[in-house]
Amino acid sequence: MKTTITQYARLTLGIGALGALMTVGTLASAQGPSRSDIRFMKEAAQGGLAEVRLGELATRRGASERVRNFGQHMIDDHSKANDNLRSLAIRKHVALPSGIGAKNRAVLARLERLHGAAFDAAYIRDMRQDHQEDISAFRKEANSGRDEAVRRFAADTLPTLRGHYNMVIDIASHMRERRMRMGRM
């Protein structure tokens, strides 16, 4: 088969265009995380700090041993995740917030006013909703984040968040059963 100059020119242009696209893609990932990656990192940082603070509150205020133990899990696991995120942010030159944010401050203030079984119920209810939201956000970042390292952080953290959610469901179920038994007595 004879290759004409026109076919050769098209092939050369096609290869050149592919190379340019690959270079643009490489430059985009070399430039660092996208705005959505950075937003995810900042929200994850605030949420992680809040989980630690709320976990500390749960270890002091929780009426049940299960709630106090869960609070300690939050401290341990989210402190580790926060450290990993902080290291990632330093490598990516992203400034993370040092506080928990207004929404989390409101939750903390509300829970600080509660004691005993009322605290346990409100804390577990908040942790259930919070972990549902976290799982969704981390799954989205793991699947569609632009920066590979940020995607990997999200994917690596997901199993821990799912474990926390399962723990919350178990604690909530135990609390329901206990209320039902006490109501029958």
Tokens of 108: 């903390």
Tokens of 40: 């995810």
Q: Which residue has the tokens 């917030």?
A: 97
CA 31, 37, 39, 43 dihedral sign is: negative
Over the stretch 136-183, which tens digit does the pLDDT of each residue have? Answer: 999 999 999 999 999 999 999 999 999 999 999 999 999 888 777 776
Over the stretch 104-146, which tens digit does the pLDDT of each residue have? Answer: 999 999 999 999 999 999 999 999 999 999 999 999 999 999 9
User: What's the distance, CA 118 to chain centroid?
Assistant: 27
Q: Are 77 and 68 in contact (CB under 8 A)?
A: no
Over the stretch 15-63, which tens digit does the pLDDT of each residue have? Answer: 554 444 444 444 444 578 999 999 999 999 999 999 999 999 999 999 9
Chain mean pLDDT for the chain: 88
Distance separating alpha carbons of residues 5 and 53, to the nearest angstrom: 70
| Residue 28: predicted pLDDT | 43
Distance separating alpha carbons of residues 93 and 17, to the nearest angstrom: 31
